[in-house]
Amino acid sequence: MSTRVIEIHEAVQGQNDQLAARNRALFEDAGVYVINVMSAPGSGKTEFLARTLADMAVHPSQEPMDRRNRLRIAVVVGDIATDNDAKRLGVTGVDVVQITTGGYCHLDADMVAKAIAKLDLRNLDVLIIENVGNMVCPATFDLGEHARIALISVTEGEDKPLKYPTLFQRADLVVINKIDLAEAVDYKGYVVIDNISRISPEAYILEASAKTGEGMADWYLYLQTMHEQHRKLPCYV
**CB hemisphere CA count around 130 (13 angstroms):** 33
Cα gap 21→14, rounded to integer Å: 11
For the segment 89-118, give every residue that binds Mg ion (CB under 5 A). Answer: none
> Are the C-beta atoms of 154 and 177 separated by less than 8 Å?
yes
Closest CA to 75 of 110, 105, 45: 45
How many residues touch ligand GTP (CB under 6 A)?
Answer: 17
Q: Is 78 in the site for ligand GTP (CB under 6 A)?
A: no
Touching ligand GTP, residues 115-174 (CB under 6 A):
133
Q: Is 28 in the site for Mg ion (CB under 5 A)?
A: no
Residues facing 37 on adjacent strands: 130, 149
Which partner from the list Mg ion, ligand GTP, none does 213 bind, CB cut-off 5 to 8 Å by kind? none
DSSP 57: B
For ligand GTP, the binding residues in 20-39 under the rule CB under 6 A are 39
The smaller minimum CB distance to ligand GTP, of residues 26 and 216, is found at 216
Residue 132 Cβ vs ligand GTP, minimum distance, rounded to whole Å: 7
Element (H, E) at 222: helix 216-232
In three-state secondary structure terms, 173 is strand
Kindly list the residues in this chain that would bind Mg ion in the complex (CB under 5 A): 45-46, 85
Kindly list the residues in this chain that would bind ligand GTP in the complex (CB under 6 A): 39, 41-47, 85, 133, 177-178, 180-181, 209-211
